[in-house]
Amino acid sequence: MLGLMQNHPLLISSLIEFAEKHHGDAEVVSRRVEGDIHRYTYKDVATRSRQVANALDRMQLAFGDRVATLAWNGYRHLELYFGVSGTGRVLHTLNPRLHPEQIAWIANHAEDQVMCFDMSFLPIIKAVHSKCSTIKHYIVLCDADKVPADTGIPGLQSYEAWMGAQPSTYTWPIFDENSASSMCYTSGTTGNPKAALYSHRSTILHAMAGAMPDALSMSARDCLLPVVPMFHVNAWGLPYSAAMTGAKLVFPGPAMDGKSIFELIEAEKVNFAAGVPTVWQMMIAHMQSGNLKFSTLKRTVIGGSACPPAMITAFNDLYGVEVLHAWGMTEMSPLGTVCTLKNKHLALSDADKMKIRLKQGRGIFGVDMKIVGDDGKDLPWDGKAYGDLLVKGPWIISDYFKGEGGSPLVDGWFPTGDVATIDADGYMQITDRSKDVIKSGGEWISSIDVENVAMAHPSVAMAACIGMKHPKWDERPIIAVVKKPGMDVSREELLAFYEGKTAKWQIPDDVVFVDSIPLGGTGKMMKTRLREVLKDYKLPSA
C-alpha cells in the first residue's frame, strides 16, 4: 500500500521560491569585485534568478547543458546558483585557483556551453578561450558599461545586459528530482580531475541535513559569512541551507585576507562563519597583531583539512567562538561529519569537552560510515582501531561524470581515501589521508598528529609532516615548518616541544624550515609538491 501524501519533487527552485515568500526582506550583502558593498534581499535574488532563467532559455540551451562559473562568492554567483539549476541546466563551478590549462581541460571535459566569470578572471579567460571548444557564450559578471573593449573573447557581454533586459516573471519547470543540478571537479592531486555530479534531490537533502542543530544549526536568526568558496563543492551547500532557513548572507567577494574578513564580520554583525583553516589562520594573525576582538561572531565551522587543536582553543579561549570541526569531501556534497557534543557530555570539564571537539565529529543523519582493515573487514568503534573510512548515503557519489575511472564503490560503499578511528559514541577522527600515513617500523604515524603538535608552538605559522625513506624503519617523519613573521624557533627547541606530547617514536626525526608550504586550489597542503621541493633531502639518521 502506498502512502497518500503529495509527491513533490525536491527541486532547487523551491529554495529560492521559499526564501522569497517567507524571508523576502532578509538581506544578502556582498563585497564586490568592484570594491564596494552591495546590499539587497532574497526577494531581489529571486527576481533576478528568474531573469537569469529567461536569459538561459533565450540561448536555447538543452535541459542538462552545463553553464560554467568562474567567480568569487557574491550575489550574481548566487543568482546563477538558482537560475541555472532551476531551469534544469547544470551549474558547473570552476576553481579559478587551478592552472589555466587545467581549467580549459575541465571546461572541455564538462562540455560547458556558457562561461560566466568575474572580471578578476578576465586574464584566465583571455588565455584559455581559444582552447575551450564547446563554450559558445562568454558573460562577464559586471555592469554593461564596464565590459572592456578588445578582449578578443568572441561575443563577450556583460551579465547585467544579458539578464537585465529579461522579464522577471518565470514559472520554474517541474522535472525529475534526480536530474543533475550542479557539478564540481575533485582537487585532482593525482591524474586528471574527475567530476562529482550532484542532483536536485541530493542537494536539497544535503542542505536540509546540513541545517539541522547537530550539523551547522542554521536558522532565520543567523547572519552567515561563507568564506568557503562557492566555486568548490557549492560552498558546502551553505547558499542552499541559507535560502532554506532565511539566514542573512554575507559574501566576501575577492577580499579573503584577515583584515577584510574581520571588518566584514564586524560591519555586518556576522554570528556564524565557515571556512578552511588557512583562512582563519590569516584572520587570527590579523586580530592578534591589532589586539582585536569579535563583537558578534559566536560560531564557526572549520573543515576541508584538519583543524589544528591550537586554532580550536584560540577561537574558544581568546575570542569566545565555538568551533564546529567538520569533515567531508567533493564526492559527499560535501558534509559527512560535524563535531557537536551530546547531552551526556555537557557535565564534562572544559578540558574533556575539548578532547571531543578536536575530533572530526559524528556522522550527520543520511551519512553512514564504517572503518575497515586491510582485509576489508569492519573494525570496532573503540576510538583506537584505525582503518580505511567508507561512506554511503543519498548525497554521496555513485559514479563520476562520464563514468571516469570506473565505479568508485566497493559493495555499495564509497572509499574516502581517509584513514580514521571511530569511538563508541560515533565520533570519527581522521588520522590521515591513506597516501600520507607514515609507516615506521610496522606502525603507523599520523602526519596530522605530528603537525598538530608543531602548530601549537607559538612561533609556528604552518607545518607539514611527510615520511622519508629510512633503511631500518621503512619511513620516518620529518616536519617542514614555516615560522611566523618576526618569530624564531630552532630545530632543537621544536623537537624538545614534542617531549611528553606524543610517543617518542612518533617524534619527527628532523625539522626543515621552509619559506612556504605549497597549497592546492582548495587551500589544502600539497604534500606531493612538498616532496618534490625536498627531493634532495637526506634524513640525518639514514
Q: For binding to ligand AMP (CB under 6 A), which residues are involved?
A: 186-187, 233, 303-307, 325-327, 329-330, 334, 360, 416-418, 430, 433, 522
Residue closer to ligand AMP (CB basis): 86 or 304: 304
* Number of other residues whose CB lies within 10 A of the CB of residue 342: 12
The H-or-E segment that residue 274 falls in is: strand 272-275
CA distance 149 to 369: 53
Q: Grid cell 565520533 — which residue?
A: 427
Nearer to ligand AMP, 158 or 337 (CB): 337
CB of 529 to ligand AMP, least distance (A): 15
Let me know: does 396 contact 205? Beta carbons within 8 Å: no
Long-range contacts of 125-134 (CB under 8 A, 24+ apart): 125/70, 125/151, 125/153, 126/151, 126/152, 126/153, 127/100, 128/100, 128/101, 128/103, 128/104, 129/153, 129/154, 131/104, 132/104, 132/107, 132/108, 133/108, 134/107, 134/108
Residue 370: strand pairing partners: 390
- The one catalytic residue in 444, 483, 502, 528 is 444
CB 266 to ligand AMP: min, Å:
27
Residue 139's contacts (CB-CB under 8 Å, 6 or more residues apart) are 114, 115, 116, 117, 156, 157, 158, 159, 162
User: At its nearest, how many Å lie between ligand AMP and the CB of residue 427?
Assistant: 12
Closest approach of ligand AMP to the CB of residue 330, in Å: 3
Q: Which is nearer to ligand AMP, 132 or 428 (CB)?
A: 428
Of 87 and 522, the one with the shorter C-beta distance to ligand AMP is 522
Give the C-alpha separation, 327 to 276, whole Å.
Answer: 11
**Residue in 41, 47, 87, 186 annotated catalytic:** 186
Specify whether 186 is catalytic.
yes
Alpha helices in 150-224 (DSSP H): 159-164, 200-211
Measured from the CB atom, the residue of 89 and 232 that comes closer to ligand AMP is 232
Enumerate the H helices of 89-177 as residue ranges. Answer: 100-110, 122-128, 159-164
> Toward ligand AMP, which CB reaches closer, 290 or 405?
405
Q: Minimum CB separation from ligand AMP for residue 382, in Å? A: 20
User: Which cell numbers in the block locate residue 414?
Assistant: 564509497
Q: Minimum CB separation from ligand AMP for residue 305, in Å?
A: 5
Q: Is 280 among the residues known to form the active site?
A: no
Q: Which residues pair with 38 in a beta bridge?
A: 30
Min dist. Cβ of residue 62 to ligand AMP (A) = 29
Strand-pairing partners, residue 149, are none
Does the annotation count 105 as an active-site position? no
* Beta pairing partners, 139: 116, 157
Locate 55 and state its grid cell.
536569459
Task: Name the grid cell of 316.
Answer: 574558544
Nearest approach in angstroms of CB 232 to ligand AMP is: 7
The answer to whether the bond into 239 is cis (omega within 30° of 0) is no
Residues β-bridged to residue 335? 328
- The helix/strand/coil state of 319 is helix
- Residue 308 or 477: the one with the smaller Cβ distance to ligand AMP is 308
Give 140 or 215: the residue with its C-beta nearer to ligand AMP: 215
Q: Report the C-alpha gap between 524 and 534 in whole angstroms.
A: 18
Residue of 20, 160, 331, 475 marked catalytic: 331
Task: Write down the catalytic residue from 439, 469, 501, 538.
Answer: 439
- Cα separation, 129 vs 140, in Å, equals 13
Q: Closest approach of Cβ 65 to ligand AMP, in Å?
A: 25
User: In this complex, which beta carbon is closest to ligand AMP, that of residue 115 or of residue 430?
Assistant: 430
Catalytic residues: 186, 331, 439, 444
